[in-house]
Each structure stands twice: as structure tokens, then as C-alpha cells.
Amino acid sequence: MSEHQVKGREVDANTRCAHYHSEVDIIAIKFYCCSEYYACYYCHKECAGHPAEKWPKTKQDETAILCGSCKYELSINEYIHTSSCPKCHHPFNEGCSSHFHLYFDMT
């Protein structure tokens, strides 16, 4: 398994950052605009140097979510429809679903 660099502010080994750092804040998102993993939307906004672009609905079978616990990559569809990592079963922050509209075209 290859190592993915996760960018952002104060990113730890489990992809937690300065903005989201609870026990369940363990996913990183590959941004459509740059194909780079960031710990969160705010990290991208502060560090990327360009505006974020949402993943089109037609591309939601792409792997774009990284589990910070086991480093498994999930597709967007897989992530949207689960509350934990399918490989290591570590729970994800259920509150993240309220931010899907920042990352993914949900229409």
C-alpha cells in the first residue's frame, strides 16, 4: 500500500488537523481540483492556493477518501453510504455528512 501525503494544518498520523481532531475525525479527502489529499475543507482553503472544486456526481465511484486509521481508500459512494471504514471498522464522524455539499455535487 502506498503512503499518501495529507496536506493541511497540524495534520497528525491519523489525518486529524487543527480544525477537526476528535477520535472519529480520521478521514482525508482528495480534492477534485488538484487530486491532493487534505485533512478538511478549511485546510484546503488555507493551504492550497486555489479554490476548491466539488467532485461531479458522475465521478463518485472514484477513490477519494482516505481512512486515517488504516489508510484504506474509499470511493466517494462508499464513503457517503457508510459510518465506518469497511476495512478496519473505525467509526467516522457522523457530523461530516453535513459537509458533503462542500466536497461532492449532491444534486
pLDDT interval class at 3 (50, 70, 90): confident
Single-letter residue type at 71: K
**Mean pLDDT for the stretch of residues 19-35:** 97
pLDDT value at 42 more than 70: yes
Grid cell for residue 91: 467509526
36 CB neighbour count, 10 Å cutoff: 16
- Among residues 98, 91, 84, 90, the alpha carbon closest in space to that of 40 is found at 98
Report helix, strand or coil for 100.
Answer: helix
pTM score, whole prediction: 0.93
Sort residue 65 into left (φ over 0), alpha (ψ -120 to 50) or beta.
Answer: beta
**Mean pLDDT for the stretch of residues 70-96:** 96
Q: How many Å apart are CA 67 and CA 1, to the nearest integer?
A: 13
pLDDT interval class at 29 (50, 70, 90): very high
Q: What share of the chain is helix, strand, coil (3-state, %, to 5)?
A: 25, 20, 60
